[in-house]
Structure 1
């Protein structure tokens, strides 16, 4: 199957535009599959940053992390607080800056699954940092426990950065869009001119070949239209002369 060149170019542009989105989605999916298990409560935590692919966080802007909690224990647990802190990237036990603590009242029964959304803001210098999110729970017997819902690395960027992931994706999409429009316009204009030139060439060749003359020959008889007229006249003269000679010879034989 042969595809036109313009289709292939547009397809390449579309892939160039959507590839950062697919990469970010794949990274978010892989990130959400990382689990943290608290053996004492039976809680299993997975996480995701819905609006921050590659764990890239803008300083001073609200950031959202979703904590998916699966209770595989025997007791009902209730989430009553979520908090956290920034740490050194290579040592999560050394807090650098605490995050705002938020109160909840979310029950998670045995075999239940719930999602807790925690929003926070980071006021920190750009660079890579460790991030620890605590989830405080209490069970149905009244015992409280602090569990770790997330522990990992994040990259903080300035809010006016022109080269973060989202900005780069927007730049690529804009360039690809204008590039595709420009190419299709060029291809339509130049391709149309080539087709018109080809049609004019064919018409000129047909005109140079002269008019097409249809044959007037009857069925079963040879077509004499292609023979020059003077040859046809000479041939007819020879035939008339031969018929007169035959008549004269016939009359002479009768007289004898």
Structure 2
């Protein structure tokens, strides 16, 4: 299962790498900055076709095509063919392919591939998390003063900016630096690898977080909602992923603005 996801992610990543910086069609979905390119569609078709050919009874939840295939009790593949579309469209080399396999409601494997840096993050439930074949663990930083967090903003931020601004500034007031990569899958992969101490965001879709959530957990981290309760990848609510050591302290700050 995981090997199929890896092969699909690598093939899609190579397609994206070849298309990066070329002329391609771009359109918007729900807002000016919620973009989709022809490479989102091409990469998604490649992934779904490859998995369908190699794993019978698969069905899919993918960003561009939604639900497809028949649920016959097999694997549900949760696919973001190009996380970081805005970056890709603006020739910013920070984007990823994200593929997760779900069985009976549980994510059992996850793959995130960054085509430009050629970093392949892989996790399998109960077997750990890996970057290019080397096991990774979350950061061991325990103090907020030494931490770096990542975040992102929803595409409809202009409709209700104050909620995002409040929790963003509350974190800054504590003195924690914040980075914004523009791709939640990368934020979660970097948290799993110990590059960030944590990541928080709101209104993310299942394909944004499914593979990354497993990566963080298999690397020894923790993933919850902002209020420290169980996080459901289908909820499109709040998510906070961390190394575990700073979880309660940051969760308390985030929960003040929910």
The answer to whether the superposition gives a TM-score over 0.5 is no
Relative to the length of structure 2, the TM-score reads: 0.20
Relative to the length of structure 1, the TM-score reads: 0.20
- Structure in which a larger fraction of residues adopt helix: 1
| Greater radius of gyration (CA) | 1
- Structure in which a larger fraction of residues adopt strand: 1
